[in-house]
Structure 1
Amino acid sequence: MWGFTTVEVCVLSVSTALARLRDGLSEPFPDSPGTRIIDIAFPLNDAFDPLLWCGQQPQWPQFYWQQRNGDEEMAALGAVKSFPSLDAANRFLHQAGRQDLRICGLNAFAPQQGRLVLPRLE
């Protein structure tokens, strides 16, 4: 069973978000193994282009998705964990027991060609 630690903060500027991230990363890690989530939300203005931002990052994999009606979009970088199949990803999410984790990737027509990851940064 995976153990999770979450730190959630809502901030109003990128510089404040970076300072909060630094603070979250400097906290001691829990004794039990697992995944540590540091959630630092900050508002983006309408000029921010997540697809352009994602493409300019050196980390890989890069993932961008937008719902057809435009209500939701997501840009994600890196992989904390990779999954060989949709079943493996679903098992991980079920064991994690967290509603806020999202798996990103491609689930190809040929399942052995799919790529699913738990992103490092979303």
Structure 2
Amino acid sequence: MAKILVVDDAAFMRMMIKDILTKNGMEVVGEAADGAQAIEKYAELKPDLVTMDITMPEVDGIQALKQIRASDPQARVIVCSAMGQQAMVIDAITAGAKDFIVKPFQADRVVEAVQKALR
């Protein structure tokens, strides 16, 4: 079973993603509310995959992605963004993100992105 770390500054968004993932047979092993927490939790939990919000306080998703990939080049991260953040999505892909999901989340798109990244 895939172990996933969910990172988003909005508790509601974390809950939505967690719900989609657990209903599709994946295990959410941790949550983080900002990039700094994400980096700590990644090192501690060693998840198979991270869903990472881009826009967060303190350390944003792109910075967290870069730091996680620097410590683990094999890290699989999918970034989540709201509509109209194409430039940030391109930055994230350049920084090593496997895929991106647009908010508001569509369950089948989330599952597809996660399964593809885990292959």
TM-based fold match above 0.5? no
TM-score, normalized by length of structure 1?
A: 0.29
Structure number with greater Rg is: 1
TM-score, normalized by length of structure 2?
A: 0.29
| Structure with the higher fraction of residues in helix conformation | 2
